[in-house]
Amino acid sequence: MKKLLSLALCLTMLLSMVIVSTAGAAEIKDFDTYEVTANEVETWCLQYSQAARDLNVLCNLVDGLLTNNAAGDLVPNAAKSYESEDGGKTWTFTLNDNMTWVDVNGEIKAEVTSEDWLTGLEWVLNYAKNDAANTSMPKQMIVGATEYYDYTKALAESDGPEAAQALTYKDKFAELVGISAPDAKTVVYTCIGQLPYFPSVATYNCLYPAPTAQIAEIGVEGYKSVLPETMWYSGPYTVTSFISGNEKILTKNPNYWNDAGVKRFDTVTIHMVESQDVAYQLFQTGELDHVTLSESTLKTISDNASHEFHNNLVEARPTKYSYVVHLNYDKKNEDGTDDINWNYAVANKNFRLSLLYGIDWTTRLARINSINPLSCENYIYTGNNLCFTSDGTDYTQLVRNELGIDYDREVYNRYDADKTAEYKAKAIEELTALGVNFPVEMVLWYKADNSTEYENDLVLQQAVSDTLGDDYVKIVLKSYITNPTTEVRNPRLFSIYFSGWGADFADPINFLGQEIWDDNAYFTTTYAHFDELDPENPAFTDVVNTVTEFTEMVNAADANTTDIDQRYADFAKAEAFFLNNALEIPCYYMIQWELTCVNNYSKVYSMYGMQAYRYVNWETNDQIYTTAEAAELAAK
């Protein structure tokens, strides 16, 4: 009955809103959007970035082989066609004609050819050029990629980085790696097995081109530190203005190869703001063309039928990101010493399980979506709608089957008071024997000028206090000033860290492979730091063994490239093992409400890759869409 009432309330709210038509509205030519300052671009070197804050911009500046359309389908981009004649082991991409590299002013610098894809992959796999960034996917899929990466790493360590940096795709790379360019318009990849999902990797930057001629001109260090005014572009836009922490202006590339086939804005201005509340203020004054609403603003609008925007509330499409509480197993104090109390606690399985089952996330989910909070609940590490079995079953359903749970929109059904009490008692006993002091302090950082983030963290702090008790564990909130990477993550000052991961291609390995025991596993090396633990220390032995077993399960599943259904079944078992040991804690999906002048169903939509922020082929109105109009667009 509660579920039916909730649905009825949502329908009543939609139907009660007066339709204010945008008929006769004009298309927007110069689009104004925003990003919070914590998500400012950190690198403009396309092959190096592994962060959405960079790739959401860079995807507009260089064209990869494939992209996605508004329905999420793979479609041609720089490659006009692709095929495999041997069941997915070899993939041939045929490039479009007339593609060019241009400078920031749109002046043509060179032709885009297949050679640039050789240069791009060599750059990614060269340890001395790319510091192991974005290597995990090519190493898992492309013949010889691991061998070349290991070769360059050994060369850099024996003869110095300059020796490895001097290499090009014409050297050892050509001998080892399964990529070739039979002619200027053809790129061929040879995979380690039959990989039907390989084309989805072509939407991500590990397989993007790098401008061969420019790198020859400015050198390795010059390309690593490239900026908007010095980089070369092949995509729909160039960046004609960049003021860090203030704004970026993307301008239509006047020599874009697909000018007739792609609709673009004249300019896209990305305003940097401190919080969603500041963005809302800019939307009210007409300075932005859309805004995602914070909890307080959403409630103010939705609860007041006479509010100017009450009839314009639009529920956004789900993003591709699965948000997780990442646990730091090698936390440092601010003086650089080890935080033994936290590190011993988080290495304890019962302590982690008490966090997993002992937090009711409902109030925190309401900070994302106060109208329908449980639509955001997330119990699985891998994101929804990423890949499917031969009978159409979503992979995440396989994981839920292994865990014995499913979504229940009436209550947040991972919270379990009885399990929490059991795990808490065991953890106290085991950790007290190791000398751990209670309450265990769990440090969570927020950006000092972001009031929304701070309020979100206060809600979680209270939720933990309500169910676990301040005498057991206590969230301690601290603020950083500008950059979370340099101020928080690199010095390892956090206990827990919220982060969303969106798949780079359509297979579970892209999620699970980031958490295994591997130098190239992003979350292992950036957040968890399993690899820093001493297995001889009794406090860490169990978690080290657990990660080792999980790694073996993932690698075994990944070795099967022929039977996809069995591959997914094995990954589901590995993921269930990961979650049953609470190595990380899935928490939510991002399904928010917004005010917008954009038809969300005209945007690129994908649950993997880096294409979702491409500002191409968007339908817009210079008047705000109504709730009813958005519902009609969704129905279509």
Domain segments of the chain: what residues? Answer: 2-32+253-318+596-635, 43-227, 322-589
Q: Where are the alpha helices (DSSP H) in 317-412?
A: 340-346, 349-358, 362-366, 395-403
What per-residue confidence (pLDDT) applies to 179? 98
Residue 383 has what DSSP assignment? P
Residues 6+ apart with CB under 8 A from 362: 373, 374, 411, 412
> In sequence order, what E strands does 63-220 have?
66-68, 74-76, 79-83, 90-95, 100-102, 108-111, 179-183, 186-190
Token match 């992209």: residue? 67
What is the maximum alpha-carbon separation in the chain? 72
What per-residue confidence (pLDDT) applies to 214? 98
Element containing residue 555 per DSSP (H, E): helix 538-558
Residues 6+ apart with CB under 8 A from 433: none
Residues of the chain with pLDDT under 70: 1-24, 409
The answer to whether domain 43-227 and domain 322-589 are alike in fold is no
What per-residue confidence (pLDDT) applies to 531? 86
Residues 6+ apart with CB under 8 A from 163: 128, 155, 156
Retrieve residue 523's tokens: 């979350």
What per-residue confidence (pLDDT) applies to 448? 94
What per-residue confidence (pLDDT) applies to 1? 25
The CA distance from 586 to 326, in Å, is 9
Side-chain half-sphere exposure of 214, counting CA atoms within 13 A? 27
Chain centroid to CA 584: 16
The CA distance from 354 to 474, in Å, is 13
Beta strand 322-327 with 585-589 is: antiparallel
The CA distance from 302 to 290, in Å, is 17
What per-residue confidence (pLDDT) applies to 23? 55
The CATH superfamily assigned to 322-589 is: Dipeptide-binding Protein; Domain 3 (3.10.105.10)
Which listed CATH number (3.90.76.10, 1.10.3720.10, 3.40.50.300, 3.90.740.10) goes with 43-227?
Answer: 3.90.76.10
Cα 566 to Cα 382, 390, 411, 563, 569, distances in angstroms: 17, 10, 33, 5, 5
What per-residue confidence (pLDDT) applies to 24? 58
pTM to 2 decimal places: 0.78
